Amino acid sequence: MNAGMRRPYAILFAALATLALGACATAGGPVARAPDMPGAWAEAGAPEAAAPARDWWRGFGSAELSGLIDAAMRANPDMAIAAEHVRQAEAQARIAGATLFPALNFGAATARRETRPHGGPWSGADSSSGALSASYEVDVWGKNALGVRAAEASLRASRFDRETVRLTLIAGIAGGYFQVLSLRARLAIVRENLAIAERVFKVVDARARNGAVSTLDVARQQAAVLAQRAAIPPLELQERQTLFALAILLGRQPEAFDVAAMNVSDVLVPPIGAGIPAALLVRRPDLAGAEAQLAAANANVASARAALLPGISLSGSAGLASDMLLNFLSAPAAAIAIGASLSQPILDGGRLRAQVDVAASRERELIENYRKVILAALADVESALAAGGRGADREVLQQQILEQARLALRLAEVRYREGADDLLTVLDAQRTLFQAQDQLAQLRLARLQASVGLFKALGGGWNKQLRFEE
């Protein structure tokens, strides 16, 4: 082998020797550790209750709700958007991974040249060439590998984001469904109290015609009747608006959408085990997503630092050329080339150093964001536990209040007919009964929403390590 042929190989061997020193390359520092978690919840959960399952919404005992959620998983636009985000992240990871492999290109060209001397005949010459070229960037400092690591972490984050969208969607559907049932229960209460007010009005009107009471009592009771009628349209409007919002979550047109169930009291309030606070780190997809984003930022910082260091590229090409058009069989000329290049940024106006600063600042931002979402997750669970536990106690007490309000109204009506009490006592008993019934319906809704909130705060049965629980 002559000296001209040995020189490219010497360059190649030098490049490979430099690659062997990559153990000292920039590899990125460790990702920030999660903050210390409390040992137990301040609020007590349901004793010996199981942790949320993947299909936690079936614990409410509503087949219609389960059907709505199953339909939403197929038709909701947000779920489709989240799925596309995952596909985009998968493609970006493949793009990043391609930098670790050589690039191979093939090119071919053919031409014919015609010349004519002054006053002479035309003469032509044909030529064709074909070349195969390869190039490879030696990832001495791990810059490309760090880019792949960042892309893979971003892919994980997008998958966790899809799980967060799924959990938020299911919680939204359950909450909207329960609100529709609660509004229907409150409408039934208003209509029941309207019937009571109209019944009392007949008694008052009859007594007024007999001269037992003044027309003032008639006017008062008529006002009570009108107040009950006036309470119906706002509740009907809220019911329709909630149905429209629920239809959007299901990916349906709102005009023809409706739910069949009518009674919120038929819905069960399932017991939920909160587990320990530290479990949130693997049970909530938003926390896992924040952690993955932080890992991507950490890799980006190391990649930006590696861009400050020298880069080595290897290249090679092999080709054929012929002086005949598209004919490589007639005495072609062959050429082979191999080489290596070294580049080192010297003066770029501080661009690369600024990119390092940007990446480092982004990492510090995500560290604080990770800490913030963990604190918010702890508060979510504590709030849901407090609302669920105290809501159950309030519902029991409100049921007792309702029973006494019914008894008070019956006694007030009897005493009014007998002339032992005036109409104001009856009016007060009516208002008390209506408020007790309406408050009980709202407390039932609050308990159901607290359960949904707790399921959501605990991650809804999702698990970072097991992917999900069956």
pLDDT tens per residue across span 316-337 = 887 766 665 555 555 567 778 8
Count of other CB atoms within 10 angstroms of residue 143: 21
What is the pLDDT averaged over residues 154-159? 94
Question: What pLDDT was estimated at residue 377?
Answer: 93
Lowest mean pLDDT among 33-37, 83-87, 308-312, 382-386: 33-37
* pLDDT confidence tier of residue 230, bands split at 50, 70 and 90: very high
Query: Which amino acid, 197?
Result: A
Q: Is 118's pLDDT higher than 90?
A: no
Q: Is 202 left (phi over 0), alpha (psi -120 to 50) or beta?
A: alpha
Count of other CB atoms within 10 angstroms of residue 34: 16
Question: What pLDDT was estimated at residue 22?
Answer: 42
What is the pLDDT averaged over residues 70-98? 94
Question: What pLDDT was estimated at residue 106?
Answer: 86
Q: Is 295 left (phi over 0), alpha (psi -120 to 50) or beta?
A: alpha
What angle (nearest 5°) sits at the alpha carbon of residue 319, between those of residues 315 and 321?
150
Separation CA 443–CA 240 (nearest Å): 21
* pLDDT confidence tier of residue 45, bands split at 50, 70 and 90: confident
Give the three-state DSSP class for 455: helix
pLDDT tens per residue across span 270-313 = 988 888 899 898 899 999 999 999 999 988 888 888 888 888 78
- Residue 299 vs residue 31, higher pLDDT: 299
Arithmetic mean of pLDDT over the chain: 85
Q: Is 346's pLDDT higher than 50?
A: yes
Question: What pLDDT was estimated at residue 329?
Answer: 54
Separation CA 193–CA 399 (nearest Å): 17
pLDDT tens per residue across span 401-413 = 999 999 999 999 9
Question: Structure tokens of 30?
Answer: 């460790």
What is the pLDDT averaged over residues 430-454? 95
The values of phi and psi at residue 266, to 5°, are -80, -15
Q: Is 470's pLDDT higher than 70?
A: no
Instruction: Answer for the pair 204, 425: CB distance below 8 angstroms, yes or no.
Output: no
Long-range contact set of residues 443-447: C-beta below 8 Å, sequence gap at least 24:
443/391, 443/394, 443/395, 443/398, 444/182, 444/185, 444/264, 444/265, 444/395, 445/178, 445/179, 445/181, 445/182, 445/264, 446/387, 446/391, 447/269, 447/387, 447/388, 447/391, 447/392, 447/395
* DSSP structure string for 256-311: T-------GGGS---------GGGHHHH-HHHHHHHHHHHHHHHHHHHHHHTTS-E
Separation CA 117–CA 122 (nearest Å): 7
Alpha helices (runs of H) in 41-142, residue ranges in sequence order: 63-75, 77-98
- Residue 102 vs residue 321, higher pLDDT: 102
The torsion of the CA quartet 152, 157, 159, 164, rounded to 10 degrees, works out to 180
* pLDDT confidence tier of residue 5, bands split at 50, 70 and 90: very low
Question: What pLDDT was estimated at residue 229?
Answer: 96
Q: What is the DSSP letter of 26?
A: -
Instruction: Answer for the pair 161, 82: CB distance below 8 angstroms, yes or no.
Output: yes
Q: Is 39's pLDDT higher than 70?
A: yes
Residues 6+ apart with CB under 8 A from 270: 56, 59, 60, 451
Instruction: Answer for the pair 465, 282: CB distance below 8 angstroms, yes or no.
Output: yes
Q: Is 432's pLDDT higher than 60?
A: yes
Separation CA 67–CA 55 (nearest Å): 12
Question: What pLDDT was estimated at residue 69?
Answer: 96
Q: Is 355's pLDDT higher than 60?
A: yes
Residues 6+ apart with CB under 8 A from 348: none
Domains of the chain, start order: 1-19+102-138+310-343 (2.20.200), 45-100+141-309+352-468 (1.20.1600.10)
- Residue 106 vs residue 198, higher pLDDT: 198
Instruction: Answer for the pair 439, 260: CB distance below 8 angstroms, yes or no.
Output: no
Question: What pLDDT was estimated at residue 469?
Answer: 43
* pLDDT confidence tier of residue 14, bands split at 50, 70 and 90: very low
